[in-house]
Structure 1
Amino acid sequence: METARPPFVDEHRIMVDAPTERVWPVLASEFGGSSGRLFEVYARFIGAKPLRSGGEPLAEGSTLPGFAVVEAVPGRSVRLVGRHLYSRYELTFDLTERPGGTLVRARTYASFPGPLGRVYRLLVIESGAHRALMVRRMAAVRKRAE
């Protein structure tokens, strides 16, 4: 049984001067590939579930530290969900073919229960750290796909 989607946090959009068939594999390597040793240590420290990477990047049923791919339509959309000690969250990506390229839209949803969850939200969301990370990674998708 699936739980309700957490509350909306933010949305990021970029226009990429490339067709979706070129953008999707870049998105998969940027957001669905190996996240690096430092992030794996961080994921373990905060009790992230799932903890390890497995499967084809952004393919339904695959995992990466802190996220499981629960829905995927290759070339069009993907839904990642996860949780840790301080939050339950979801990240979705939608690719839409537009004249001149592909619109990539990323939406974040998250809940932060309890006092420690509120502190974590302050540190990650309210500080601007999440936004800065998303802007940087979305820009990397654009640069690599173009």
Structure 2
Amino acid sequence: MSGERAPLAGLPFVDEHRVLVAADAGQVWQTLAETVGRKRGGGSEAYARLVRAEPATASGPPLELGSTLPGMRVVESVPGRRAALTGRHFLSRYTLTVALEPELDGPGTVLTAGTYAVFPGPLGFVYRLLVIESGAHEKVVRRLLARVRERAERAERAERPSD
């Protein structure tokens, strides 16, 4: 897939993943924020320190402009619509975008996650092999999207009045 999209902020396209969520965009956004907010501390911060990520720690409410997660800073946030998170460490510079769009053929929201990154130098090349080419990045992103879908749909069902 690499190279199919125009670079974002000078970073080449890596991949994009989508999932249809049977919930409105507001619920999907709230669930996405809660889910990424759970990534704070512990192993995420330890890994961020190991690779000298900037930023290395979490701060502020998840998905709010200027907030951080280990290894990422929110540089764009339009609640219920889109967000962009950027980060860097000694092996890579990257941006993750998330977009929420209404499903065209019915109720629900299409949640899309796109990754743009560069992996400079010989160590960056090896890191890309280990993270991207191995399929590890894809598994992590797909797992995140599936988790958001499951939680948002559960919350949406809980809010609906019973028949």
Does TM, normalized by the shorter one, top 0.5? yes
- Is the 1:5–1:90 Cα contact (8 Å) retained in structure 2? no
Distance 1:131-1:34 versus aligned 2 partners, 3 A rule: closer
> Is 1:82 aligned to 2:87, yes or no?
yes
Q: Which runs of 5+ in 1 are unaligned?
A: none
The amino acid of 1:23's aligned partner reads V
The alpha-carbon deviation at position 56 of structure 1 amounts to 1.1
Percentage of identical aligned residues = 55
Q: Report the counterpart of residue 56 of structure 1 in structure 2.
A: 61
SS at match of 2:9: coil
If the length of structure 2 is used for normalisation, what is the TM-score?
A: 0.85
Q: Distance in 2 between matches of 1:39 and 1:131?
A: 17
> Is 1:28 aligned to 2:33, yes or no?
yes
Deviation per residue, 1:102-131 (Å, 9 max, x gap): 000110000000000000000000010000
SS at match of 2:102: strand
Q: Distance in 2 between matches of 1:5 and 1:91?
A: 13
Q: Report the counterpart of residue 157 of structure 2 in structure 1.
A: none
The alpha-carbon deviation at position 32 of structure 1 amounts to 4.2
Task: Please list, as runs of the form range in 1=range in 2, the aligned pairs for 1:98-117 lying within 5 A after superposition.
Answer: 98=103, 99-117=106-124
The alpha-carbon deviation at position 33 of structure 1 amounts to 4.3
Task: Please list, as runs of the form range in 1=range in 2, the aligned pairs for 1:1-146 lying within 5 A after superposition.
Answer: 4-98=9-103, 99-146=106-153
Q: Distance in 2 between matches of 1:21 and 1:4?
A: 27
SS at match of 2:56: coil
Q: Which runs of 5+ in 2 are unaligned?
A: 1-7, 154-163
Tell me the matched-pair count: 144
The amino acid of 2:57's aligned partner reads R
Q: CA RMSD in A?
A: 1.3
If each structure's strand is expressed as a fraction of its own residues, which one has the higher value? 1
Q: Distance in 1 between matches of 2:37 and 2:90?
A: 22
Q: Distance in 2 between matches of 1:133 and 1:5?
A: 24
The amino acid of 2:133's aligned partner reads E
The structure that has the greater radius of gyration is 2
